[in-house]
Structure 1
Amino acid sequence: MVILFSVKISEKHQEALLNKYPHEDFIFKDGMTEAEKYLEQASVFVTYGDDLDDNKLRRATNLKWIMVLSAGVDQLPFKQIEDRGILVTNSKGIHKTQMAEYTLSMMLQMYRQEKLLMENEKAASWDKRVRMKEISGQTIMVLGTGAIGQEVARLAKAFRMKTIGISRSGRVVDYFDEVLTIEQINSKLPETDFIVSILPSTKETRYLLTEEHFNLMKNSAIFINIGRGDVVKSETILKAIRDEEIAYAVLDVFEQEPLPEDHPFWKETNITVTPHISGQSPNYISRALAIFQDNLDNFQQGKSTYINKVNPSRGY
C-alpha cells in the first residue's frame, strides 16, 4: 500500500512511521508540487486539505482514503469523493488547547488594554489613566460546541463567566450553562459580552451572521472569529466596527487568505488581525499523526470505524 504525504513532516516522524509500519510504502514530500507525480500510485493521501482539486483527484485512480492533518476540509472536492466512495478523516479535536488559549488571551488583551500598554511603553509614557476591565463574571457565547468550544468554555469558567453555547442540535454539553440552537441565537445576543465563532465552513454556516446579529449585540461586545472567515461578510464586520455596533473584533480567519495588504481590516484600530495561526502548536503534528496512526491500524484491518470520519454530503 502506497501512503503519500504532501504534508512536510520531520525526519523523526518519518522514521517513527517507517519503523511502525515496515510493510507499507511511504512517500514523503513537501507540498503538492513534489507529491503530484505520485498520485496515481497512492492508496492513502495525507494532506492539509487545500491542495487536492477535482483534476488531481481524478489522477489518483487507486485512492481509497484521504487523511487531512487539519480540521478544515471545506476545500476538498466532495462530489467526486462521494461518488467514488473515498474515505475522508480529519484531525478535529487536536486544536482545542491552543485555540482556547488564543481566545482567552485575546479576551484578556482587550479588557486589560495590552495593546495600549505596549504602545505607552514604547513611547516611555507613564499613563496611569488607562482604563481596564475584568473578564470575570462576563458572558461569553460560543458558536460551535465541539472540542474547541468546550475547552473555551472550560477556561472561561475559571473566570466565573456565564457560558452560552450555540449548536445545530442545542444538545447539552459540558462547561456550558446553556446550549441553544442556531435559530435561538438572537434571544441571547443582547446580553453577551464576547461572541466567539468556531464554526466550520459548510452550506449551513456560510454567511450565517448578518447585520441583524451585529445590531443585536452590545455596543461593548467583542467578536472573535477562529473558525472560518465565511461565517460573516467582511463588510458586515467593518460596518459594525465603524458604526460602533460592537467595540472590537479579533479575526484569525478571513473570506480571502492571505488577507490582501490593502484590505481595510489592517488599518482599523478596533480590529486585531492574525494570519490564521490560532491553531499553531509545537505539538500539532504529533497529535495529528496519532489520529492518523489509529486510523491506519483500522484501515489495515479493514475495519469500518474511524476517528473523525467526515461525511462528504455535509462537508464535515
Structure 2
Amino acid sequence: MHNVVLLAAPDSALAQALAVRNLPDIHLQVYAPAAVPEEVLAEAEVIVGAPDHIVPLVRGAQRLRWVQSTWAGVTPLLQNGEPPYQLTALKAVFGDVMSEYVLGWLLALERRVLVHSRSKRWLTGRESSVRGKRMGIMGTGSIGTVVAQRANAFGIECVGLNRDGRTVSGFERCYATSDRLSFATGLDYLVGLMPHTPDTDALVDAVLLAQLAPTAIFINAGRANAVSHGDLVSALEDGRLRAAVLDVLPDEPLSSSDPLWSVENLHITSHTAAPTADAMIVDVFADNYQRYVSGQPLAHLVDFARGY
C-alpha cells in the first residue's frame, strides 16, 4: 500500500472526489494542512496539496517520494534547492478557462461592453474588432498554446515569447526572452502567462511597453513578478497603453487602500482567471498515481533548475 496524504478538509468535495476513484493500493488519509499527525507525516510516501501548505511539512515527511501540487505554480517549494522527492505541478488543465478569461476581456474592451452597459444614454460610434489584431503571448506552455489556438479562431495572429525562441504550434513565430523587444514591437495585445523565475523578473517594463502599438491592451494572468507595476501605471496614465487587466499582484489579496484600485483603465480581477475544478485535480493526480505505481515517468515534473 502507498501512504498518500491529501491536504484538504476531510469533508471537502476534493476529498470525496478522490476517495471515490478507488485507486489501486492506496492508503488515502485526508487532513487539514495544520492537523496532520506527526506519525502520519513520517510515513507519508505521497503528499497532495497546495505548495504553501506543503512547505512546513516536508521536513517531517521522512519517506516522502512524490509531491503533487494542486496549483500550476510551485514557487514556495522551490526555495531550498532540489529535494529528494519528485514534484509535479497541476498542468494541461487551465488552457480552456484561461482562454475564456483572455478573450472575454479583449472582446469586452474592444466592443466597449462595459462602457455600453454602464452608460445612461445612447452611445454612437463604430465598435472595433479583435479580428486582424496581433497578440503576443509571454509563455508558450500548455496554457499559452491553448490561448493562441483559441485566439487564432477569432482571426487574431499570435506570436510567442519563451526561454529559447523554440517553435510552438499555434504561434506564427516565437522569440527568446533575450529578444523581448522585437517580440513586443507593434503588438495590439500583450498577454503575460509566464512562470515565476528569476529570468522572468520585470520582463514587462517601460522599455517593452514603449514597443507596443499606441492603443495596446495588456493582460497579466501569469505571475506578478514579470511586471514592473510602476512602469505599467505610468504607461496607462500617459495614454501610451489603452487598458490593462491584472489578475495577479505582488501582494494578495490587494489591500483596499492600494492606489492601483483607482488607476484609470486598469482592471483588477482578484486572481480569478483560471479557477481550479476539483475534477481537474483528481484527474491529474489519478493519472500520475497510475504512472507512479507502475514505475512509469510522472507527467508534469518540475525542473528545479528552471523553476517550472
Fold conserved (TM > 0.5)?
A: yes
Summarize the Cα distance change of 1:279–1:180 in structure 2 as closer, same or farther, 3 Å threshold. Answer: same
Deviation at 1:20, TM superposition (A): 2.6
Summarize the Cα distance change of 1:255–1:36 in structure 2 as closer, same or farther, 3 Å threshold. Answer: farther
Summarize the Cα distance change of 1:206–1:186 in structure 2 as closer, same or farther, 3 Å threshold. Answer: same
SS at match of 1:20: coil
Letter in 2 for 1:236: D
Counterpart mapping for 1:175-194 below 5 A: 175-194=170-189
Q: Where does residue 267 of structure 2 map in the other structure?
A: 272
Residues 1:205 and 2:200 are matched in the alignment: yes
Gaps of 5+ in 2: none
Conservation of the 8 A alpha-carbon contact between 2:202 and 2:226:
yes
Letter in 1 for 2:43: Q
Q: Where does residue 68 of structure 1 map in the other structure?
A: 69
| Counterpart-to-counterpart distance in 1, 2:227 and 2:169 | 27
Summarize the Cα distance change of 1:91–1:61 in structure 2 as closer, same or farther, 3 Å threshold. Answer: same
Letter in 2 for 1:294: D
Q: Where does residue 57 of structure 1 map in the other structure?
A: 58
Q: Where does residue 20 of structure 1 map in the other structure?
A: 23
| Counterpart-to-counterpart distance in 1, 2:41 and 2:127 | 55
| Counterpart-to-counterpart distance in 1, 2:17 and 2:109 | 38
Deviation at 1:77, TM superposition (A): 4.2
TM-score by length of 2: 0.92
| Counterpart-to-counterpart distance in 1, 2:60 and 2:19 | 28
Q: Where does residue 217 of structure 2 map in the other structure?
A: 222
Conservation of the 8 A alpha-carbon contact between 1:7 and 1:48:
no
Q: Where does residue 302 of structure 2 map in the other structure?
A: 310
Q: Where does residue 35 of structure 2 map in the other structure?
A: 34
Q: Percent identity?
A: 26
Residues 1:99 and 2:98 are matched in the alignment: yes
Equivalent residues, number? 303
Letter in 2 for 1:87: Q
Larger CA deviation: 199-208 vs 291-300: 291-300
| Counterpart-to-counterpart distance in 2, 1:94 and 1:62 | 29
Letter in 1 for 2:105: M
Summarize the Cα distance change of 1:36–1:224 in structure 2 as closer, same or farther, 3 Å threshold. Answer: farther
| Counterpart-to-counterpart distance in 2, 1:36 and 1:277 | 33
Deviation at 1:78, TM superposition (A): 4.5
SS at match of 2:249: coil
| Counterpart-to-counterpart distance in 1, 2:8 and 2:85 | 19
| Counterpart-to-counterpart distance in 2, 1:242 and 1:266 | 13
SS at match of 1:58: helix
SS at match of 1:51: helix
Deviation at 1:156, TM superposition (A): 1.3
Residues 1:293 and 2:286 are matched in the alignment: yes
1:228-282 deviation digits (Å, cap 9, x = unpaired): 011012212211211222111001111111111111221122011111111115x
| Counterpart-to-counterpart distance in 2, 1:143 and 1:236 | 18
| Counterpart-to-counterpart distance in 1, 2:140 and 2:111 | 27
Larger CA deviation: 56-65 vs 269-278: 56-65
Q: Where does residue 112 of structure 1 map in the other structure?
A: 111
| Counterpart-to-counterpart distance in 1, 2:306 and 2:258 | 31
Letter in 1 for 2:84: G
Q: Where does residue 138 of structure 1 map in the other structure?
A: 133
Q: Where does residue 245 of structure 1 map in the other structure?
A: 240
SS at match of 1:262: coil
Letter in 2 for 1:301: S
| Counterpart-to-counterpart distance in 1, 2:305 and 2:36 | 27
Gaps of 5+ in 1: none
Deviation at 1:131, TM superposition (A): 5.1
SS at match of 1:46: strand
Deviation at 1:36, TM superposition (A): 6.4
| Counterpart-to-counterpart distance in 2, 1:105 and 1:65 | 37
SS at match of 2:76: coil
